[in-house]
Amino acid sequence: MHERNSVSDLAGILRGELSRYSVGEKLPSSRALVDRFRVSPVTVSRALGTLAAEGLVVTRPGAGAFRAAPHSAPARPGDTSWQQVALSVETPGEAVPRAVDASGVLSTLAEPPPGVIELSGGYLHPTLQPERALAAALGRAGRRPGAWGRPPIDGVGELRAWFAREIGGPAGTVAPSDVLVTAGGQSALTAALRALAPPGAPVLVESPAYPGILAAARASGQRLVPVPVDAGGVRTDLLAEAFRASGARVLVCQPLYQNPTGAVLAGERRREVVRIAREAGAFVVEDDFARFLSHEDAPAPAPTLAAEDPDGIVVHVCSLTKITSPSLRVGALAARGPVLERLRAIQVVDSFFVPRPLQEAALELVGSPAWSRHRRTVAAELRTRREVLLAALERELPDLRVDFAPPGGFYVWARLPDGTDEAALAAAALRAGVVVSPGRPYFAAEAPAPFLRIGFATTAGTAELEDGVRGLRTAWEEWTGTAAARKP
Amino acid sequence: MHERNSVSDLAGILRGELSRYSVGEKLPSSRALVDRFRVSPVTVSRALGTLAAEGLVVTRPGAGAFRAAPHSAPARPGDTSWQQVALSVETPGEAVPRAVDASGVLSTLAEPPPGVIELSGGYLHPTLQPERALAAALGRAGRRPGAWGRPPIDGVGELRAWFAREIGGPAGTVAPSDVLVTAGGQSALTAALRALAPPGAPVLVESPAYPGILAAARASGQRLVPVPVDAGGVRTDLLAEAFRASGARVLVCQPLYQNPTGAVLAGERRREVVRIAREAGAFVVEDDFARFLSHEDAPAPAPTLAAEDPDGIVVHVCSLTKITSPSLRVGALAARGPVLERLRAIQVVDSFFVPRPLQEAALELVGSPAWSRHRRTVAAELRTRREVLLAALERELPDLRVDFAPPGGFYVWARLPDGTDEAALAAAALRAGVVVSPGRPYFAAEAPAPFLRIGFATTAGTAELEDGVRGLRTAWEEWTGTAAARKP
């Protein structure tokens, strides 16, 4: 945070001084700027990067930074208003809304404003990421002969075999040939949804569900049909009727540490979900995003649904990103039967293949001694953080109700008192320096009650986490105060 | 080729010897295998990788390779036949075929069989790729603080600025904020097509066209409407009528060194294409895949269509992959107006963002002294190869007609005599040890004549290129001999 502020401060100073230089003239060297402003070389480099992004300077590695030629406006001012028509024209009989809503996804991907405590993001805090091991793995991967060539279309063989072992578990029921390497979990979800249901078709989703699933289905023109989730996972007593009433051929669910509720699909329900889907002639997309996010005190997770499904009902999605770093965008799809060919074709046509150096780096990482060390560290740290967060919430915000906070994943899903305006509360939280996620975007249709998702993996440590909860209390008091004042 | 054979030979020997080891037992060390079989460490590593991919051994970096537990079959044999129904169900009124055809794309992506001369691929031969510069750039990129974190959603600022300068050219009419960094050109094309036209909508494509464009549009459920191309690019005398008759709101074209014909969109036609699209209220997707593939003897290419379009008609697609390596999957979309927001949303929902280390490596590469050196080397080499190929074709295969082979790109588009069976000829070529691309997959509808696309960037050198043409002559003689024998 400190670093972020000094970058923008330095960029501001340099921006103001730019008029002293003529176009093409060299700016002072990085070393000179380091000395003058007493900041780190990284800060100087990022500040110059900011100005370069604005088109104000041009940087040439090894040579320095130069004042850029001013960005010339087009010969005449453009008129893009015709696009509003072109982007809205529909085909006859089409049921697909054209606009694509990325807001639910963007809120967990965007960097929060500087100085704000993030209780909302979808990734481990940088201090919990295995940065050094990744740097070493990538360096080795990039130097291997052939590292930059075409990988096998379905993924590097050893990595497919590794994913097959992880997905199949001790029973070993998933073969490497059942696996496709993907560019992270979201790409895999998008490919699965596009492969399994045509535009306009209904898709069953959990309620609440991860907004990335809702956005991907909507972007594919599919209609969302929500099925409620409780502490035992998706409600199987409502599932058969949801398939029957909608005619859906796909259910997307997260059986383990569901996002946002943390629900774990319980014993008998695991078999029920697959049985009901089989009877409906439908696929189950198992988004197993959190298998590596078990906390230290968690019982061993149940096997994947894919491991126990010989009939190709389950299309399995997983990823290394959550347990490592946002930019290690390496995941997998696993499936059996003709659907695998459809998935492969969609993936190849959409994006060809996953860059080989990233696949090789992933393989280096999971094969290194750092891997199990890293997993143990994260498991211990997530447990501590969950306990600290729950204690702080109980202390500071007794009005919030946390029904279950299972020993896995990054989040606590807190029920707000009836009538709470989530959006107003989140806005008040931001004023108090804390980002949290309002519950609304997690529901495909109307939300049954107000909620907040509070993350505990994205702060620098437990102290910042507790600061965040205190900020949330300030916001809560502000909101309840305002709400009370409004009453006649 | 040598290397490839020795890998599969060694894998075969080791596979045969595996039964000597018990499950979990360590295989001989890599060094011992190097000594025993007198092969390189790379060969040993790749051979063990092959066995690992087959699930026969498990490799643990630093520890060695071990015999794996046998892959257990599922508890009962699965039955996936129900999927054929589920994968074909359509929504009422739906005009979208469900199957996805990746064959046209796969033919240029898949590695050819060992020992075969490749005159078909879409990438530079490994000897022409800047492998060392890429390895260095990636190593540096991966070690930067924050290298593995979330990049800005639209791409790293300096890289957007670099693309903006390349796309806008000297006039500087494209701003960094008009640019989105993408995971290579194919992802950008897919995002553009999905953003600009709904499923079922018509899309104008060149005839012939790059199969990756045809496959991406078909996978988005769009209807292809071909517009003929001649040496001057897409035929503008047919374009207005094509828009009118189809109602299309999108044309996809490659104005520079079109794939497969090599056509360059000529002076007046450049303005015509944009004018006609404007009158149709339509977008032009400019797939500028070959800007960095100008040969040494080429005149300076015309600016991009995007550089001269203030009204947001042109959606520009480009990529660094072709001029570097298949796995540097970094490209860009550039657009103005509300469409940029649609493109951004599609890209975020589909795949979140491009891994930061790849973006940083691309930035390192294009900013390094190696970049202009590499481009000069490739320009000189492509010119030589083009000349060698054309001379060899004239000498060995006078029956093939090459109407124009412009000084850019990787391909020569050769017209075959009427009545030639392209598929039979390509099969004969494969028997003679040469892979070429039959013309058929390049046409969205019926092909007007038989063609072959012959690539000159994918061989180890000019000697192999000439060997390839001799192989093609053998195939031609076989085919004409067979054809003559068939006549009564």
3-state secondary structure B290-321: CHHHECCCCCCCCCCCHHHCCCCCEEEEEECC
Shortest alpha-carbon distance between residue B249 and chain A (Å): 7
Distances (CA, A) of B304 to B111, B316, B340: 32, 8, 18
In whole angstroms, what is the distance from residue A455 CA to residue B306 CA?
Answer: 43
pLDDT of the residue at B49: 81
Average pLDDT in the B343-348 region?
94
CA distance A355 to B355: 10
Minimal CA separation from A49 to chain B, in Å: 6
Please give the mean pLDDT across all residues of chain A: 90
Contact (Cβ atoms closer than 8 angstroms) between residue A263 and residue A233: yes
Residue B4 confidence (pLDDT): 47
pLDDT tens track for A409-454: 999 999 999 999 999 999 999 999 999 999 999 999 999 999 999 9
Q: Write out pLDDT tens, residues A273-299.
A: 999 999 999 999 999 999 999 999 999
| Residue B95 vs residue B358, higher pLDDT | B358
Across the interface, whether the CB atoms of B76 and A126 are under 8 A apart is answered no
pLDDT category, B488, cuts 50, 70, 90?
Answer: low
pLDDT per position as a tens digit, B280-337: 999 999 999 999 999 999 999 999 999 999 999 999 999 999 999 999 999 999 999 9
* Structure tokens, A294: 């078990």
pLDDT, residue A206, reads: 98
Give yes or no for A371 touching B (CB within 8 A): no
Task: Name the band, by pLDDT with cuts 50, 70 and 90, for residue B124.
Answer: very high
In the predicted structure, residue B81 carries a pLDDT above the cut 90: no
Please give, rounded to a whole number of angstroms, the shortest distance from the CA of A136 to a CA of chain B: 8
Q: How close is the nearest chain A Cα to the Cα of B301, in Å?
A: 20
B279 burial via Cβ count (<10 Å: 0-12, 13-18, 19+): exposed
CA angle centred on A225, ends A223 and A230, rounded to 5°? 150
pLDDT digits (tens, 9 = 90+) for A242-274: 999 999 999 999 999 999 999 999 889 999 999
CA distance B300 to A318: 47
Q: Which of A111, A138, A341 to mutate to test binding with chain B, by most B CBs within 10 Å of its CB? A: A138
pLDDT at A410: 97
- State whether A147 and B327 contact (CB < 8 Å): yes
The confidence score (pLDDT) of residue A269 equals 96
Give the B window 319-348 contacts with A, CB below 8 Å.
324-329, 336-339, 342, 344-346, 348
What residue of B is the nearest CA neighbor of A344? B102
Residue B75 has pLDDT above 60, yes or no: no
All domains in chain A, ordered by first residue? 2-67 (1.10.10.10), 103-128+371-486 (3.90.1150.10), 131-367 (3.40.640.10)
B440, B447 Cβ separation under 8 angstroms: yes
Q: What is the pLDDT of residue A152?
A: 92
B216 to A120, A261, A455, B67, B334: CA distances (angstroms): 35, 36, 38, 42, 19
| B91: chain A residues, CB-CB within 8 Å | 95, 198-201
Is the preceding peptide bond at B488 cis, omega within 30 degrees of 0? Answer: no
Average pLDDT, integer, range A57-71:
75
Look at residue A225 and tell me whether its pLDDT is greater than 50.
yes
Which residue from B minimizes the CA distance to A337?
B80
A283-287 and A314-319 strand pairing? parallel
B90 touches chain A (CB under 8 A): yes
Judge whether residue A488 has pLDDT over 90. no
Residue B19, class by beta-carbon neighbours within 10 Å (0-12 exposed, 13-18 middle, 19+ buried)?
A: exposed
Q: How far apart are CA A197 and CA A50, in angstroms?
A: 42
pLDDT, mean of residues A210-222: 94
pLDDT, residue A483, reads 63
pLDDT of B345 above 60: yes
User: In this predicted complex, what is the ipTM?
Assistant: 0.85
Return all residues near A88 (Cβ < 8 A) that are at least 6 apart: A98
Backbone angles phi, psi at B60, to 5 degrees: -125, 110
Mean pLDDT of the B82-88 span: 84
- Retrieve residue B101's tokens: 């055809």
**Binary contact (A53, B79; C-beta < 8 A):** no
- CB spacing of A126 vs B134 below 8 angstroms: no
The shortest CB-CB distance from B149 to any of A76, A126, A156 is to A126
Using the predicted structure, report yes or no on whether residue B95 has a pLDDT greater than 60: no
Question: Rounded to whole angstroms, how far apart are CA atoms A402 and A411?
Answer: 11
- Partner-chain residue, chosen from B77, B86, B201, that has the shortest CB–CB distance to A281: B86
- Given an 8 Å threshold on Cβ–Cβ distance, is B339 in contact with A311? no
Contacts of A315 (CB under 8 A, 6+ apart): A192, A196, A283, A284, A285, A286, A306, A333, A334, A335, A339, A343
Residue A4 pLDDT: 47
**pLDDT band for position A3 (50/70/90)?**
very low
pLDDT of residue A146: 84
Contact of B306 with B174, CB cutoff 8 Å: yes
Of A20-24, A203-207, A466-470, B391-395, the one with minimum mean pLDDT is: A20-24
> In terms of C-beta density within 10 A (0-12 exposed, 13-18 middle, 19 or more buried), how is residue A113 classed?
exposed
Question: What do you get for the CA distance between the two ends of chain A, in Å?
Answer: 43
Question: How many contacts does A have with B, using Cβ atoms within 8 A?
Answer: 390
**Residue with token string 């080397």:** B377
Answer yes or no: is pLDDT of B53 > 80: no
Q: Please indicate if any CB of chain B lies within 8 Å of the CB of A177.
A: no
φ and ψ of B74, to 5 deg: -60, 160
Look at residue A384 and tell me whether its pLDDT is greater than 50.
yes
A363: pLDDT confidence band, cut at 50, 70 and 90? Answer: very high
Residue A1 has pLDDT above 50, yes or no: no
A79 contacts B106? CB cut-off 8 A: no
From B278, B337, B348, residue closest to A109, measured CB to CB: B348
What angle is formed at CA A80 by the lines to CA A76 and CA A84, rounded to 5 degrees?
170
Mean pLDDT lowest among A205-219, A443-457, B23-37: B23-37
Subunit contact B342:A89, Cβ cutoff 8 A: no
State percent of chain B over pLDDT 90.
67
Average pLDDT for B149-175: 92
To test the contact with chain A by mutation, choose from B56, B57, B100 the residue with the greatest count of A C-beta atoms within 10 A, namely B100
Taking residues A6-15, report their average pLDDT.
Answer: 85
Q: Is A425 left (phi over 0), alpha (psi -120 to 50) or beta?
A: alpha
Is B90's pLDDT higher than 70?
A: no
pLDDT at B170 over 50: yes
The chain A residue lying nearest B122, using CA atoms, is A150
Q: Is the pLDDT of residue B48 over 70?
A: yes
CB A314 within 8 A of CB A288: no
Quote the CA–CA distance of A112 and A426 in Å, as a whole number.
13
Inform me whether the C-beta atom of residue A394 falls under 8 Å from chain B C-beta atoms.
Answer: no
